[in-house]
Structure 1
Amino acid sequence: MKNVQCSIGFVLSLPYGKDSREVASFYKSLIKPLVSLIYHTPQIPVSIYMGGALLEMLRSHNGAFFDVMKELCERKQVEILGGGFYEPLFPLISKPDRIGQVELLTTYLRQEFGKRPRGCYLPFGIWSPDLASTLATAGMEYVLLPDVHLSHAGIRMGTQAAFQHYITEHDGKTLCLLPVSTRLKSTLYQGSPREFLEGLLDLPLRDQGVLVLMEDFASWSTLSPSRQEAVLAWWTELFSLLKTRYGELDLRLPRDVVREIVPTRRIHLPPLILSPEGNSEHFYVRQEVSRIEEPHLLYAKMQYVQSLVRQLRGDRSRKKTAREDLYRGQTGAAYSIVSGDGGVACPWLRHAAYRALIQAEKNTREKGIFYPSVVKTDFTFDGYPEYLFQGERYNAYLSTKGGAVFELDILEEEWNLLATCGRYPFLKLEGSSLSGEDKEPRLLFVDRFYEEGVTLEHCIRGTALVVADFSGAHYTVDHYSRDVLDITLSHEGVVRQGRRQTGIHISKRYLFGPDTLRVRYHLVLEGQPSHPLRFVPEINLSFPPQVPRKMRYMKEGAGGPRDASFLEAGKERAEKVLFLPEGKNGSTCLVSFDKEVPLWHYPVLTAGKKAGETALQGIALLPLVDIFPHTSEYTLEIAISPAVKG
């Protein structure tokens, strides 16, 4: 009699937005040798989960892979699992979008491999009680979940109950739950395959117990080539041992487990999301996404575009295209604080999600009818009104909290110039003169006053002495016109210098032109500061990482333009700053001032996903306005032309 019932599976996935070189490397280093190993050991059944984004990318370059996978499915050795096509964080999206994502992947798998998936796998170990009805409605019969979920329903890990499958219900629909052993997964590669197999065979599982193992290669690209080879060699040896000791194991596919073994009992699980390593837990994915501002802003954008797509009527083809772009923008890794690919702190992942959402938004606009306007709404769900300028060439989203712009979309290029990320403690770059720490997100036109002696190094490190910080202040709307396309905000604040306090009135008038966004500052001091100050309306910009760029400072008179690197800090005096692509062609971004001003700049760098790597999140540009004790009024106009053809 066979001792242990076991199901082995693999998760092969890449988030939407990976370039073709990374996909080719992932296929060559992992997918091809792993599938070859499975193909040449027909005695060993395995389940495989592949995200839709990876399948799309493989289809255009590796057609033979699909032929092999179809053969493996036909000989009933491999079960392909379903899920969300672009691997969304399901609790963040609407029920129709959840069902749409699952059905899209189901249709794709049936067309490519001739088999309709009956079960699914959810990346990030995510769960929400209402997913039971959603997945059942989409045709799923069971879901594979990390067994730590069971511990929150009173089941002790390591006991017989942790290796049994259960049934859950929501809204009258049922779904089977197959627990995946996180403890067993954590022991992979710690010893030899023989030691691993001996430990597996020693587990005290009775008739109804099934050990489910799913190996997730989410961090594969962070491994060295030698480590990758060692992992593949480990699995090759394990498969060889499984062939020789096949009689001691009852290897099953998940669908066979569900079909042949009756669920132990009904169970209900609380909401939960796991870290990529599966060793820490975070309740309530919505709260986790709101922990820092950047993923929350992306979530708010997704919700806004989702509402635009839902309202689209008449043109079915246009709605279908917009919905598919929306699904791409829901790629879950971009909303995660930390994922195997770096989460929201990964620049290419963040830009890819915004690009898809901007594409979806453009597809909701009807040609010949759309006209520029400013819409008032609580876009970020924080109780403060936001003002959304929607133009033909760019979008600009303005918040009354801080009076700053938090999104600036170039529609033709389909990128958000404010898809930045702050240098939060968990992303801090160590051992660099350009490292620093942020407490707030990096937005456009963030108003702060510093002591006169502030230095560029202080600003880089985040240690500058701020005597008045209005980044979180509530600005009053003095004027707003939906059709005239300008908004005036103001704030009454206080500058503190020791015991002395000086009142200050800030007025910011935003003008939304066809090609240019302008802000006109008017500062009025209500008293005299004890010594000079520096007003800094901070400018942060982020560019797609695929296109290297440089800065060009320009001013009237002698000297001519001067180029500067994105990767270095520097000081200049100028009236205009061009952000140029390194090549001859492409769009540039122009920042101009109504007078020559001192300008500081530095790159916003964080730790990368690999040890020793850095990630360029954006560029900080600091115009300096010196404020003296005997002058009571100051003005400054800043204009940003987001997409100037170069």
Structure 2
Amino acid sequence: MKLSLCLHNHQPVGNFDEVVEKAYADCYEPVLECFERHPGIRLAMHHSGCLLDWIEARHPDYLRRISALCAEGRLELLSGGYYEPVIPVFRRADIQSQVVSMNDRLEALAGSRPCGLWLTERVWEPSVPSILAGTGIEYVVVDDLHLRLAGVDPGSAGLPVLTEDSGHGIALLGSSREMRYAIPFAEVKDVLSILAGMDRDGIRHVFYGDDGEKFGVWPGTRLRCHERGWLDAFLSALEDASGWLSTVLPREAVESLPAVGPFYVPASSYPEMGEWALSPERQESAAAVRRAVTESPDADLFVRTGFWRNFLTRYAEANDLHKRVLHAEKAVRDSGSREALRHLWRSQCNCSYWHGVFGGIYLPHLRDAVWVELAEAERTARECLGSGHSLHRSDIDCDGSEEIVIGTGDISIEMRAGEGLSVSELTFLPRGGRAVTLGNVLTRRREAYHSLVGESAGGTGSDGTESIHGDMEALEDGLASSIAVDPYRRLSFREVLLPEPGGRDAWFGCRGGMAAVTPGASPELSTVGDGVSARLSYPIAPGFSIDKRLSVSLGSPAVFYESTLASDPGSPGCRIGCELCLNLLTGSEDDRVVCIGAAAPVRTGVCAEGRARRVVVEDGWRRVRVLIESESELDVWQMPLDSVNRSERGFERVHQGVAILFSSVVPPGGRAVTALRLRMEAIV
């Protein structure tokens, strides 16, 4: 029997250098060293371009070693989108260019062009063969579930499966789920027993493809795989089984084994991905149905869940980013700038667009990184095209309402007509410095796993090695009572109507408040002096209406806001506020602070309040200061937006941003005007 092994190694754009360094020391280097000690083993590896670039800069000898293994015929390198995009969801020109760029890079390393592709997160759509046409890719790694969904007979497990789209053919290799769940968590003898059983069943070829991080990065796996020698023992056992089992490169399997097909795979990924893409309510329903049919080995075939694009529905922030990247492509390509195109590709790195076991979109530094790349792509394109500023008005994110995106030499901002002309993106573009994104705050939502979060922090299993798909522990005490669900999407320059009395408790407790939802609204746009102004009037609640103007300076990093609340005669008293939500990446550092009036500065991770005409927000790490000034003294409330979410380590608290509300009390039937000026500047 033949066995093909394939490891996928990836670190996202924007990950902390020390995190990648630890992954290298705990996983990538010791795995390579162990493999080098076993000349009887042949395998394949895929490294994302993000990781390859990092390794080249810090550990170039690693690349020389894999080049030597390729020359010996022991190692095959798989291609992919250079910066690990989800293949079917971006423009074909971008994906094809990224794959060809990766092919070029790997040819320089291996001495031959790759013919296999690691499919990002195994996200398959029927268009993939057409997308990859002309790139030189001959086979794609998927899960065995993909092939079962297409109707491939279990007796053909491990064989190349042919498919096509519009006449563009490609072969598929399905990774065995049984092997993925056994390696490296089962004992070595048990893994060999599984393989022996497959051999007895007449299986000619077994393909195993999974995350390389399972061998040192996942919790407890460094201890198990390297210090306790699981990986070395496993490779030795494979060598000892050479009488009935041999390892082959995936490309050799595709070339030598008889292919079956054509078969047609529906849109799918690995089973967990489909569940994570569902709303919490549907996840719970799917789990109940699955429990009811758990005895059926074909449950995965007929209990279908979601597919990857559902994340763009679940998380509006992911949809905003995705559609802005698509929108930016034309200007980037028109500019002819290779630098702008690279920034655009980096903004397509998948990790910030979804959430499952790993933090994904819940990790502020990853969201920040891809938004910075997008901002730099747009800024570079504007400079190359010679345009001082850009203004686009259309339904960019395909939600039925207009967005207005303005880019200048100092600022990039996105206004959302469908949400009361609120601002979802606010980016400072310092002259000669890297973009600083301040507006990409994640709204806190209910997640299906919230019911599993305990109040007390827990430990790990007996040897510290647990599959990340098993039960998880809280990483700190009191997490369950810290779960918050925001009553509206957290944006900036958003009007919030609160009851009075009781408005303070409602806002800090996330238990009330009305915010604008204005689908189909069409703001008035005008040029006033050296700025662009948008105006919108709308009802915020029965008996209350807002007239609002938001202006962006074309010559400085400044935004001007003015709103008038008018209440009908007989309407009750209330509190009206303008909320700003800013992401400074953490709430626990002394260099990320808010200063309300003359009060001492406090961290963004604590609650604070006062009355002031001026508020200063400082990010000492990214060297930016935000000054917000009011024409009159207002009540100013500050609240951290901390989520409770899942990661590979367990349930944890993550700072998503800080909300600052500027508000005043309105008497019954009264009127209130709120005017703010926001200015950003570099800290020198």
TM-score by length of 1: 0.90
Q: CA deviation at 1:44?
A: 0.8
Residue of 594, 599, 606 corresponding to 2:631? 594
Matched to 2:238, the amino acid is L
Structure 1 residues 367 and 103 mapped into 2: Cα distance closer, same or farther (>3 Å)?
closer
Q: Secondary structure at the match of 1:10?
A: strand
Could you tell me which residue of structure 2 aligns to residue 628 of structure 1? 667
Residue of 518, 540, 550 corresponding to 2:592? 550
Q: CA deviation at 1:366?
A: 3.1
Matched to 1:90, the amino acid is I
Instruction: Give, in whole Å, the separation in 1 of the partners of 2:312 and 2:218.
Output: 27
Structure 1 residues 120 and 53 mapped into 2: Cα distance closer, same or farther (>3 Å)?
same
Is the aligned partner of 1:285 residue 2:308?
yes
Q: Secondary structure at the match of 1:290?
A: helix
1:566-605 alignment runs, 5 A limit: 566-582=604-620, 586-605=623-642
Task: Say whether the 8 Å CA contact 1:571–1:599 is kept in structure 2.
Answer: yes
Residue of 189, 194, 211 corresponding to 1:194? 189
1:355-434 alignment runs, 5 A limit: 355-366=372-383, 369-372=386-389, 374-402=391-419, 403-412=421-430, 413-426=434-447, 431-432=478-479
Q: CA deviation at 1:218?
A: 4.9
Structure 1 residues 488 and 6 mapped into 2: Cα distance closer, same or farther (>3 Å)?
closer
Could you tell me which residue of structure 2 aligns to residue 59 of structure 1? 56
Residue of 495, 507, 514 corresponding to 1:459? 507
Unpaired runs of at least 5, structure 1: 496-500
Once the two structures are superposed, what CA deviation does each residue of 1:193-213 show, in whole Å capped at 9, x if it has no partner? 011101211115677731101
Which of 536-545 and 471-480 deviates more?
A: 471-480
Task: Say whether the 8 Å CA contact 1:322–1:361 is kept in structure 2.
Answer: yes
1:113-262 alignment runs, 5 A limit: 113-155=110-152, 159-204=154-199, 209-218=204-213, 223-224=218-219, 226-232=220-226, 233-262=229-258
Residue of 501, 508, 511 corresponding to 2:548? 508
Structure 1 residues 368 and 376 mapped into 2: Cα distance closer, same or farther (>3 Å)?
closer
Task: Say whether the 8 Å CA contact 1:91–1:286 is kept in structure 2.
Answer: no
Could you tell me which residue of structure 2 aligns to residue 45 of structure 1? 42
Could you tell me which residue of structure 2 aligns to residue 470 of structure 1? 516
Matched to 1:480, the amino acid is S
Instruction: Give, in whole Å, the separation in 2 of the partners of 1:107 and 1:439.
Output: 49
Once the two structures are superposed, what CA deviation does each residue of 1:27-50 show, in whole Å capped at 9, x if it has no partner? 110011110111010101111111
Instruction: Give, in whole Å, the separation in 2 of the partners of 1:483 and 1:338.
Output: 48
Matched to 1:519, the amino acid is Y
Could you tell me which residue of structure 2 aligns to residue 614 of structure 1? 653
Matched to 2:104, the amino acid is T
Q: CA deviation at 1:77?
A: 0.8
Once the two structures are superposed, what CA deviation does each residue of 1:144-164 show, in whole Å capped at 9, x if it has no partner? 1101111221236xx212332
Q: Secondary structure at the match of 1:197?
A: helix
Q: CA deviation at 1:335?
A: 1.3
Could you tell me which residue of structure 2 aligns to residue 498 of structure 1? none
Could you tell me which residue of structure 2 aligns to residue 519 of structure 1? 561
Instruction: Give, in whole Å, the separation in 1 of the partners of 2:567 and 2:642.
Output: 35
Is the aligned partner of 1:350 residue 2:350?
no
Instruction: Give, in whole Å, the separation in 2 of the partners of 1:307 and 1:205.
Output: 56
Residue of 297, 303, 308 corresponding to 2:320? 297
Once the two structures are superposed, what CA deviation does each residue of 1:284-333 show, in whole Å capped at 9, x if it has no partner? 43333222201001101101111211322xxx4xx211111111111011
Instruction: Give, in whole Å, the separation in 2 of the partners of 1:147 and 1:77.
Output: 25
Once the two structures are superposed, what CA deviation does each residue of 1:4-23 show, in whole Å capped at 9, x if it has no partner? 22111211111111232112
Figure out how many residues of one structure are paired with residues of the other and give that number. Answer: 619
Q: CA deviation at 1:458?
A: 3.5
Unpaired runs of at least 5, structure 2: 277-303, 456-477
Is the aligned partner of 1:22 residue 2:68?
no
Matched to 1:603, the amino acid is P
Percentage of matched positions with identical amino acids: 21
Could you tell me which residue of structure 1 aligns to residue 469 of structure 2? none
Could you tell me which residue of structure 2 aligns to residue 535 of structure 1? 576
Could you tell me which residue of structure 2 aligns to residue 489 of structure 1? 535
Could you tell me which residue of structure 2 aligns to residue 638 of structure 1? 676
Could you tell me which residue of structure 1 aligns to residue 462 of structure 2? none
Instruction: Give, in whole Å, the separation in 2 of the partners of 1:275 and 1:595.
Output: 56
Matched to 2:654, the amino acid is A
Q: CA deviation at 1:442?
A: 1.6
Which of 447-456 and 346-355 deviates more?
A: 447-456
Matched to 1:506, the amino acid is I
Task: Say whether the 8 Å CA contact 1:374–1:483 is kept in structure 2.
Answer: no
Q: Secondary structure at the match of 1:419?
A: coil
Instruction: Give, in whole Å, the separation in 1 of the partners of 2:173 and 2:590.
Output: 46
Q: CA deviation at 1:480?
A: 3.4
Task: Say whether the 8 Å CA contact 2:595–2:601 is kept in structure 1.
Answer: yes
Residue of 305, 310, 326 corresponding to 2:344? 326
Could you tell me which residue of structure 2 aligns to residue 436 of structure 1? 484
Task: Say whether the 8 Å CA contact 2:216–2:225 is kept in structure 1.
Answer: no
Q: CA deviation at 1:505?
A: 2.3
Is the aligned partner of 1:310 residue 2:336?
no
Structure 1 residues 246 and 440 mapped into 2: Cα distance closer, same or farther (>3 Å)?
farther
Instruction: Give, in whole Å, the separation in 1 of the partners of 2:534 and 2:186.
Output: 66
Instruction: Give, in whole Å, the separation in 2 of the partners of 1:507 and 1:254.
Output: 63
Could you tell me which residue of structure 2 aligns to residue 5 of structure 1? 2
